[in-house]
Chains A and B, each alone.
Chain A
Amino acid sequence: MTSDLVLTGISKRFGAQNAVQQIDLTVPAGAFFALLGPSGCGKTTTLRMIAGLEEPSTGTIRLGEQEITGLRPYKRPVNTVFQNYALFPHLDIFENVAFGLRRRGVKDFKPKVTEMLDLVELGAFGKRRPAQLSGGQQQRVALARALINQPQVLLLDEPLGALDLKLRRQMQIELKRIQTEVGITFVHVTHDQEEAMTMADTIAVMNGGAIEQLGTPAELYDLPATTFVANFLGQSNLLRATIIGRAEQNLIVDVQGRKVTVPLPRCRVTEGDVWMGIRPEKVFLSRAGTEQSNGVNQLRGAVVTDVSYVGVSTQYLVKLSWDQELTVFEQNTGARGTLAVGDQVDLHWQPAHTFVLDAQQDALAGVEDIDDSGGAG
């Protein structure tokens, strides 16, 4: 019944602007797939091409065996939950939800609509108009209106964007539950990395109309392929480094005169200048000179410049001898007393947590709202 959705070489130009550039993508049947990226990166455009509301400039879209690239929207077994719901204001909730079934000439649609309204807990609201519902309720109507058609693929364009945080979390769980229940392929567009990570099986990170990286949330987080992904998904410390040699399955990297090892498979480039990356929670801090190196990477002679206590963890800013500041998260296990500003510390981390990226890329690419995720303030 359901089949893979395959995009091959999809591009979309609006006049001189390339909204989407050469996307190749396979969404496995039944997957919860997230398209993640900053505003204006082409997520909606990609979704609209799948729905048939926009015609690709190049490339093909297939659903299993069937090519759907040129099909009119109403000929595709695909339904959309729009960014602002787009409920029909002149029809009541029941008729909104029944719309698709009626158009397809499904007989005996009434019990189905009632059942669907119950599924989204709006059974008592059938006679109301969209304007008489709250944002969260409208969102559920939009979902019900699309889901009732049992499409092969359900497209969701930031369906939770307009909801407040609490409702958002609630709906995330709800959506995930419904998806597991109905087994339909979900393509979920969002610019909220946390939402994508908690909900999706597979995430495609988009930037500037292209896909930067595709993988499971853990894969993307553990081994980002670009500086953009490293910064957009969680936080990363990126240090200027040079590859100077190779030892068995590791590369030796020089960071301002100190040697660091990185497993070969974790290196995107294998020679010349690079960015050496490490996630803040993977770094362990010790008072200067108290820990020996035993196979772990180290940077000695740093100074704590900022400490923010966050309850479960503490976030440190440490300044390295060449004045670069790194972020370090430490769980407050109580094993060692917290450090204070001005303390001399050494940094330790596992080679297996290190990653190496192309130095051509911008170290600040994908850094979002530094103010509320960074610790400088």
Chain B
Amino acid sequence: MTRAGRWFGRNLVMMVAIVVLLYLFAPIVVVMLMSFNEPKSKLSYTFDGFTWDNWQHPCRPFGMCDAVSTSLRIGLLATVIATALGTLMAFAMVRHQFRGRSATNLFIFLPMASPEIVLGSSLLALFVSSGFGGQLGFWTILIAHVMFCMSFVVVTVKARLAGMDTRMEQAAMDLYANEWQTYWRITFPLVFPGILAAALLSFSLSFDDFIITNLNAGTTVTFPMYVWGSAQREIPPQINVVGTAMFLLALLLVVGGELTRRRRTR
């Protein structure tokens, strides 16, 4: 009895961890499973049979691959723009003294703190009132995504920069590196993990966004909008193929990053 109790006590943390992991991974496992599903009917929510078919013809559902491609393009573009602008912004806010710096700090948080539905609808109002009501689509989505991604980039890069010792840069300058060389040899490599994290975060935020996108999309359809739309009528198992592929890609990036980091510090 006491022995069992002690065993239980010792392994309690481990068991909790396993339960939490199961809880976290259950949906992903389901997505992976369902990507091999051969549904009997259009609105089937059960695993009816195994097939490779979905993976062999991922683009069969009409318009899905277009939606994925739109989402990818918007995601990549929004990531590049938001990361570049946000990084510059973060540098300005950490490295330069200017009037209204603390106010800026606050403003940066606002887009993250406000409800998406409010942001989305006011953006729509902005687009319409400034005469872009007829051109809602790829570009308005992109503008919206850059906007909300940027806050996250600024916050992420800023945290990395603020934790960085300016003495590294001073030491570089003392060792004959001019401003340009100091930036590319010292500052950038040291801030890079922060920038990379910001970029990955931006991409997943953009790829994933539904509410703001839906309000500002016009007739353009992104992947989340496609999934939402099709869920009313049918659920093509190929959606799960895309989901699984995205998950594997993310996993690859994380594992790859971790491996290079380990190799570097060895």
Interface residues of A (CB under 8 A from B): 51-53, 72-74, 78-80, 82, 84, 86-90, 99-100, 103-104, 129, 131-132, 145-146, 149
Give the residue of A52, A99, A131 whose beta carbon is less than 8 angstroms from that of B175. Answer: A99
Give the residue of A53, A74, A131, A132 whose beta carbon is less than 8 angstroms from that of B176. Answer: A74
In the complex the two chains form, what is the Cα distance from A74 to B176 in whole Å? Answer: 4
Q: Is the CB of B171 within 8 A of A74?
A: no
In the complex the two chains form, what is the Cα distance from A53 to B189 in whole Å? Answer: 22
Question: Interface range on chain B: under 10, 10 to 19, 20 to 34, or 35 or more?
Answer: 10 to 19
B180 to A: closest C-beta gap in Å? 11
Chain B contacts for A146, CB-based, 8 A: 174-175
A83 to B: closest C-beta gap in Å? 8
In the complex the two chains form, what is the Cα distance from A145 to B190 in whole Å? Answer: 19
Q: Is the CB of B178 within 8 A of A82?
A: no
Q: Is the CB of B176 within 8 A of A80?
A: no
Q: Is B69 an interface residue (CB 8 A)?
A: no
Q: Is the CB of A73 within 8 A of B189?
A: no
Chain A contacts for B170, CB-based, 8 A: 53, 73, 82, 86
In the complex the two chains form, what is the Cα distance from A80 to B181 in whole Å? Answer: 18
In the complex the two chains form, what is the Cα distance from A84 to B165 in whole Å? Answer: 11
Contacts A82-B167, A82-B171, A103-B181 given: A90-B189 contact, CB under 8 Å?
yes
B165 to A: closest C-beta gap in Å? 7
Q: Is the CB of A145 within 8 A of B175?
A: yes
Q: Is the CB of A74 within 8 A of B174?
A: yes
Q: Is the CB of B186 within 8 A of A74?
A: no
Contacts A86-B167, A90-B189, A90-B190 given: A80-B174 contact, CB under 8 Å?
yes
Nearest neighbor of A84 in chain B, beta-carbon distance: B167
Q: Is the CB of B165 within 8 A of A86?
A: yes
Q: Is B130 an interface residue (CB 8 A)?
A: no
In the complex the two chains form, what is the Cα distance from A89 to B192 in whole Å? Answer: 13
Q: Is the CB of A131 within 8 A of B167?
A: no
What number of A-B contacts does a CB cutoff of 8 Å give?
Answer: 61
Q: Is the CB of B173 within 8 A of A72?
A: yes
Give the residue of A51, A88, A129, A149 whose beta carbon is less than 8 angstroms from that of B168. Answer: A88
Q: Is the CB of A99 within 8 A of B172?
A: yes
Q: Is B136 an interface residue (CB 8 A)?
A: no
Chain A contacts for B178, CB-based, 8 A: 72, 74
Q: Is the CB of A88 within 8 A of B174?
A: no
Extra 15 A-B pairs, beta carbons < 8 Å, given A52-B174, A99-B172, A131-B265: A53-B170, A72-B178, A74-B173, A74-B174, A80-B174, A82-B170, A86-B167, A87-B171, A99-B185, A103-B175, A103-B176, A104-B176, A132-B265, A146-B175, A149-B175
Chain A contacts for B77, CB-based, 8 A: none
A187 to B: closest C-beta gap in Å? 14
Q: Is B201 an interface residue (CB 8 A)?
A: no
Chain B contacts for A82, CB-based, 8 A: 167, 170-171
11 contacts between A and B (CB under 8 A): A53-B170, A53-B174, A73-B173, A73-B174, A78-B174, A86-B165, A88-B172, A89-B168, A99-B185, A132-B265, A145-B175
Contact with A along B81-107 (1 / 0, CB 8 A): 000000000000000000000000000
In the complex the two chains form, what is the Cα distance from A149 to B174 in whole Å? Answer: 11
Q: Is the CB of A103 within 8 A of B171?
A: no
Q: Is the CB of A86 within 8 A of B190?
A: no
Q: Is the CB of A86 within 8 A of B176?
A: no
Q: Is the CB of B186 within 8 A of A53?
A: no
Chain A contacts for B186, CB-based, 8 A: 88
